[in-house]
Amino acid sequence: MSEERLETVPCPYCRGIILVGAKRCKYCQVDLAGLWPQESADRGPTKNPLLATILSIVFPGLGQYYCGRRDKATMFVFAFVVFVGLFYWLTFPWLLVAAWAGVDAFQEARRTR
């Protein structure tokens, strides 16, 4: 057998060598689904919530794009363009969209961690 990238651990019940994240022990057949922490799954590179927030405040949607949420990024860019187009004489609506996008980007970055 060549070198495997998968991690192994001894089964907590029978000490047989099993794969990390295995749903069931192949030796004693015990259910192991609840044994593994949820974040053990590889979800790609982690995102910096602060950077995501700053990006979305500088330009709404940019933080969402950074988090890989292109659908949300498009929505924020659209909202930003509409707000600026309709209320360009006011500063407040622009700040509202920027703050909203900033908070959302922060939560999105935390979620992708």
Which parts of this chain interact with Zn ion (CB under 5 A)? 11, 13-14, 16, 25, 27-28
Residues 6+ apart with CB under 8 A from 106: 49, 50, 52, 53, 63
CB 8 within 8 A of CB 22: no
32, exposed or middle or buried, with CB in 10 Å at 0-12, 13-18, 19+? buried
> Nearer to Zn ion by C-beta: 27 or 88?
27
Smallest gap from Cβ 23 to Zn ion, in A, equals 12
CB 54 within 8 A of CB 90: no
> Nearer to Zn ion by C-beta: 17 or 50?
17
> Nearer to Zn ion by C-beta: 27 or 78?
27
Smallest gap from Cβ 35 to Zn ion, in A, equals 11
> Nearer to Zn ion by C-beta: 16 or 40?
16
Smallest gap from Cβ 11 to Zn ion, in A, equals 3
- DSSP 8-state class, residue 39: G
Smallest gap from Cβ 33 to Zn ion, in A, equals 13
